[in-house]
């Protein structure tokens, strides 16, 4: 990879880390990333300190290992696939992402949860044939 491309990649990752820090309003206890060197550089720039508590950077993520980010990669892949058919998200405050979050947590069944939704796994049951309709009706109460 050329030095210029590497610099652009680092800048994008650093901005993502800065945005995450700004959105949460606090420093994370743990930052989990894949092995991309740009993430480690961004971590050093944003969170590295000698003062405690320190943010732990876990960066040895792989599909088969003691830690993995399969769930996040799967969700990112689903969102990217949806975004592709929409030709991008037009606004930062788009309701599409919130709708996708609702779909993912309350409607879509997950193989890893034995065919349950995350909501069902937590004891939240959505009644009726049309779960979207039920959720919208309950939201308007």
Tell how far CA 122 is from the center of its chain.
Answer: 20
Instruction: Tell me the whole-structure pTM to 2 decimals.
Output: 0.52
Binned at pLDDT 50, 70 and 90, residue 123 comes out as very high
pLDDT at 3 over 70: no
Binned at pLDDT 50, 70 and 90, residue 58 comes out as confident
Residue 105 contacts residue 118 (beta carbons within 8 Å): yes
Q: Nearest 5°: CA angle at 138, between 123 and 110?
A: 40
E-assigned strand segments in 3-140? 30-32, 56-58
């Amino acid at each position: 990879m050329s030095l210029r491309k590497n610099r652009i990649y680092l800048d994008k990752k650093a901005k993502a880390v800065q945005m995450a820090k700004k959105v949460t309003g606090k420093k994370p206890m743990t930052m989990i990333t894949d092995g991309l060197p740009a993430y480690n550089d961004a971590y050093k720039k944003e969170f590295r300190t000698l003062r405690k508590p320190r943010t732990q950077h876990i960066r040895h993520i792989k599909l088969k290992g003691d830690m993995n980010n399969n769930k996040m990669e799967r969700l990112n892949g689903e969102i990217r696939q949806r975004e592709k058919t929409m030709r991008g998200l037009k606004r930062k405050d788009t309701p599409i992402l919130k709708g996708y979050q609702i779909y993912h947590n309350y409607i879509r069944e997950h193989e890893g949860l034995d065919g349950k939704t995350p909501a069902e796994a937590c004891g939240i049951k959505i009644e009726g044939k049309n779960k979207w309709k039920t959720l919208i009706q309950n939201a308007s109460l």
